[in-house]
Structure 1
Amino acid sequence: MKIYPVETGNFKLDGGAMFGVVPKTIWQKTNPADANNLIDIAARSLLIENGDQLILVDTGMGNKQSDKFFSYYNRWGDFTLDKSLNNLGFHRDDITDVFLTHLHFDHCGGAIQWNKDRTGYEPAFKNARFWSNEKHWKWATQPNPREKASFLTENLMPLQESGQLHFIKETETAFSSNNSLDFDIRFVNGHTEKQMLPQFTYKEKTMVFMADLIPTVGHIPLPYVMGYDTRPLLTMQEKERFLNEAAENHYYLFFEHDAHNQLCTLKHTERGIRLDQLFTFNEVFGQN
Structure 2
Amino acid sequence: MKLYSINTGYFKLDGGAMFGVVPKSIWNKLNPADENNMCSWALRCLLIEDEGKLILVDTGMGNKQDAKFFGHYYLHGDDTLEKSLAQHGFTAADITDVFLTHLHFDHCGGAIIREGDKLVPAFKNATYWSNASHWLWANQPNEREKASFLKENILPIHESEQLKFTEHWFNKASTEPGWHTTIGNDDYLKSVPFIKNIDILFVNGHTGDMMLPKINYNGKTIVYMADLLPSVAHIPLPYVMGYDMFPLTTLNEKKAFLTEALANDYILFFEHDPVNECCNLQMTEKGIRQKDVFNLSEV
The verdict on a shared fold, with TM-score over 0.5 as the criterion, is: yes
State whether residues 32 and 39 of structure 1, in contact with CA within 8 Å, keep that contact through their aligned partners in structure 2.
yes
How far apart, in 1, do the equivalents of 2:193 and 2:207 lie?
20
State whether residues 14 and 37 of structure 1, in contact with CA within 8 Å, keep that contact through their aligned partners in structure 2.
yes
1:283 CA displacement: 2.1
How far apart, in 2, do the equivalents of 1:41 and 1:50 lie?
29
Output one character per residue of 1:62-88: Cα deviation in whole Å (capped at 9) or x when no partner. 111001101111122100000000000
Instruction: List aligned pairs for 1:58-97, cutoff 5 A.
Output: 58-97=58-97
How far apart, in 2, do the equivalents of 1:281 and 1:74 lie?
26
Residue 234 of structure 2 corresponds to residue 236 of structure 1: no
The residue identity in structure 1 corresponding to 2:219 is E
Aligned to 1:249: 264
Aligned to 1:165: 163
The residue identity in structure 1 corresponding to 2:55 is I
Structure 2 stretches lacking a partner, 5+ long: 170-190
Residue 273 of structure 2 corresponds to residue 221 of structure 1: no
How far apart, in 2, do the equivalents of 1:229 and 1:98 lie?
24
Structure 1 stretches lacking a partner, 5+ long: none
Instruction: Number of aligned residue pairs: give it.
Output: 278
Residue 207 of structure 2 corresponds to residue 192 of structure 1: yes
Aligned to 2:52: 52
Q: Name which of 183, 194, 219 aligns with 1:175.
A: 194
Output one character per residue of 1:143-192: Cα deviation in whole Å (capped at 9) or x when no partner. 0001100000001110111000000121271113xxxx240110000000
State whether residues 57 and 99 of structure 1, in contact with CA within 8 Å, keep that contact through their aligned partners in structure 2.
yes
Output one character per residue of 1:91-150: Cα deviation in whole Å (capped at 9) or x when no partner. 0000000000000000000000112xx212111100000000000000000000011000
1:51 CA displacement: 2.1
Q: Name which of 151, 154, 173 aligns with 1:153.
A: 151
Residue 53 of structure 2 corresponds to residue 34 of structure 1: no
Query: Deviation above 6 Å: which 4+ runs of structure 1?
Result: none
Aligned to 2:98: 98
How far apart, in 2, do the equivalents of 1:162 and 1:13 lie?
31
Aligned to 2:297: 282
Aligned to 1:17: 17
Instruction: List aligned pairs for 1:121-160, cutoff 5 A.
Output: 121-160=119-158
How far apart, in 1, do the equivalents of 2:37 and 2:193 lie?
39
1:275 CA displacement: 1.6
The residue identity in structure 2 corresponding to 1:223 is P
Q: Name which of 194, 199, 202 aligns with 2:217.
A: 202
Q: Aligned to 1:233, what secondary structure does the other structure show? A: helix
Q: Aligned to 1:72, what secondary structure does the other structure show? A: helix
The residue identity in structure 1 corresponding to 2:82 is D
Q: Aligned to 2:250, what secondary structure does the other structure show? A: helix
TM-score, normalised via structure 1 length: 0.95
